[in-house]
Chains A and B, each alone.
Chain A
Amino acid sequence: MSETVEFAEGVTLADVRRVAELANLELTAEEEPRMQRDLNAILGHVAQLNELDTTGVEPMAQVGQMLALPKDEVGRALRLDEVRPSVNRAAVMASAPESDGRFFKVPKVIER
């Protein structure tokens, strides 16, 4: 039996707002209908993927899994776990929008 894959009927304005909320984006009133139109156009094109039967095909997350390369089970790809100089903290903090030199400062998270 082939896997059932159902595509959405179409993206509504409410969908656009919900996804914008998930993505921490605040769209303007002009942007919302434009994004709705574009997402529907792009997803309409993406719907072609439904023509293919992918039953039993292992999803490919990255290239290495498709090559017959030996699996790195002992973490050879990782650098040695040893102390080494890190990036310069003063340089990092200098690029922050607001900082006291040691920490990043942000608006209140919890109202009291």
Chain B
Amino acid sequence: MYETNFKMLTIDEAKAAASATELAERHYALIAAEDGPVSQGTTGKGINSFLALSRDRALAQAAKVDAARAAGQDLGPLAGVPIGIKDVLTMTGSPATAGSLILKGYLPPYDATAVTKLEAAGAVLLGKINCDEFAMGSSNENSAYGPVKNPKALDRVPGGSSGGSAAAVAAGFAAATLGTDTGGSIRQPAAFCGVVGVLPTYGRVSRYGLIAFASSLDRVGPFTANVKDAATMLQVLAGKDPLDATTSDQPVGDYVGALAKPVDGLRIGVPAEYFGEGLDPEIRAAIERALDGLKSLGCTIVPVHLKHTAYAIPTYYVIATAEASSNLQRFDGVRFGHRSGDSKTLSAMFKKTREEGFGPEVKRRILLGTYALSAGYYDAYYKKAQQVRALLTRDFLEAFESCDVIVGPMTPTPAFRLGEKTDDPVAMYLADIYSVAASLAGICGMSVPCGETAEGLPIGVQIMGKHFDEATMLRVGQAIETLQNAAG
């Protein structure tokens, strides 16, 4: 039976602290004790979630919050709240590595818009957080800076690619973190670590300052201890950004306000395809309990079909790798990061730099994507995958004609063991079987803790919402969370 004594921190608790400076110092002390890799001499649990600490920046911001509080000024919605940033987003003063050796030591010259917005709301940014290299992975084992441990079960993975972001919230190192999700990289680790993770609709949150992986899929979103905190974070992050032309000018909802509305009368779509072979029976039982709970609150359960679900993983791995092979061509040793020494020609320098700088999974995906886009294979792989992507998206648009949200399991199994799937890429990819379809369709989604297995491993329930209807999704998420807390 897994049991660790980490305690999560909520945004309300963080804001209730008398001094933002003391709170930040307390969290740095906790990180120093419990997060550092055991190999580096720390005696704690060696979670390895933080890659770099931004002490000067955090303490300057905390001092500003404390001064504003002392002067009786209005404080922002995240005033003094300690937050961590996945290391694929840029933050001046701290290296941005994307978990890769090819960007080791790279100091970005500007802040990501998400970082700017959090600080404007008063957040104290503690540092940069570990992740799979270039956000490619489902276990955080692809980081060049070592794997992250799941704070709920130290011999298990935290999920990925935003494994460090989920772990940092689960361990209470930060009240909230930013992650990114291309095929499940926020929601799957949230489920594995027992925290809330939100994938906003494509175009809802700016990606300016995000190191791109697959641009038609990449999204930025929050991890938090509860649903209300996720709504607070999303409220701060959402909106049109002149620096990111893919952000939408659709009006931003009142996410926090929406949580006050009861859920009775809402139609909950339940896709049969998400309850098939391969689903862990304990997870199935937990999701069925959550659905019964929603029914008891006056929701209607509507069976829906997402009939192309089985094709989501192969579709995703063609499209995401094709886009990645293009995006990652910029890492060539010319402008930033690592450059291989003493190459005689430019072309040799490109190749050696990339050979030394990229890890095996990144190389695998670059090769796969390049193959899928190469002459003779483009129609068979890339165009075909884009067509199936349209079918997968139509599935959702049709399902949402008869329901308001779709609810199902977030992952087929609870967190697996470190090292368990590292030698089998296809088995690793299948860990994302319930998350990739929402990524391809651009809809919003979230994972909410929904009990534990008998062994004590967290279970996540997935809620998917219509494009730009995060408000309804969050309402249902909070209803499940409330039922869960009442059940103990």
User: Interface on A for B, CB 8 Å cutoff?
Assistant: 5-8, 11, 15-16, 19-20, 22-28, 31, 34-35, 38-39, 41-43, 45-52, 54, 57-64, 66-67, 76-79, 87-88, 91-92, 94-98, 104, 106-109, 111
Contact = CB atoms under 8 A, between A and B. Distances in A.
Q: Is the interface of B mostly helix, strand, loop or mixed?
A: helix
Contacts of B363: 25, 27, 31, 35
Contact of B109 (A27, A42, A91): A91
Contacts of A94: 107
A59 B387 contact: yes
Interface in B69-122: 106-110
Nearest to B349: A107
B359 to A, nearest CB: 11
Contacts of B387: 54, 57-60
A82 B178 CA distance: 32
Given A50-B384, A63-B393, A63-B441, 12 more contacts: A5-B380, A19-B367, A25-B355, A26-B351, A41-B424, A47-B314, A48-B311, A64-B203, A95-B335, A97-B333, A98-B339, A107-B346
B344 interface: yes
B349 A95 contact: no
A67 B354 contact: no
A92 B360 CA distance: 29
B366 A23 contact: yes
A39 B386 contact: no
B397 interface: yes
Contacts of B397: 66
Interface string B419-446: 0000011100100000000000110000
Interface string B353-374: 0110010100110111011001
A20 B389 CA distance: 27
A4 to B, nearest CB: 9
Ranked 6 nearest A-B pairs via Cβ? A63-B442, A59-B386, A97-B339, A91-B109, A54-B387, A26-B351
B354 to A, nearest CB: 5
A60 B393 contact: yes
A50 to B, nearest CB: 8
Contacts of B366: 23, 25
B377 interface: yes
B354 A46 contact: no
B379 A5 contact: yes
B352 interface: yes
Contact of A35 (B106, B337, B367, B379): B367
A8 B329 CA distance: 25
B245 interface: yes
7 contacts: A48-B314, A54-B391, A59-B387, A63-B202, A97-B336, A97-B339, A107-B345
B141 interface: no
Contacts of A95: 106-109, 335-337
A49 B388 contact: yes
B364 A58 contact: no
Contacts of A46: 314, 317-318, 381, 385
B417 to A, nearest CB: 21
A57 B354 contact: no
Contact of B364 (A35, A49, A61): A35
A87 B454 CA distance: 53
B14 interface: no
A72 to B, nearest CB: 9
A41 to B, nearest CB: 5
Given A16-B367, A39-B367, A108-B345, A7 B380 contact: yes
B386 A19 contact: no
A15 B375 CA distance: 12
Nearest to B103: A95
Contacts of B424: 41
B156 to A, nearest CB: 24
A52 B388 contact: yes
Given A24-B350, A104-B334, A79 B243 contact: yes
Given A19-B371, A41-B426, A58-B390, A49 B355 contact: no
B216 interface: yes
A69 to B, nearest CB: 8
Nearest to A79: B242
A58 B337 CA distance: 39
A95 B337 CA distance: 7
A55 to B, nearest CB: 9
Contacts of A49: 311, 314-315, 318, 384-385, 388
Nearest to A89: B109
A16 B368 CA distance: 9
Contact of A107 (B344, B364, B386, B467): B344
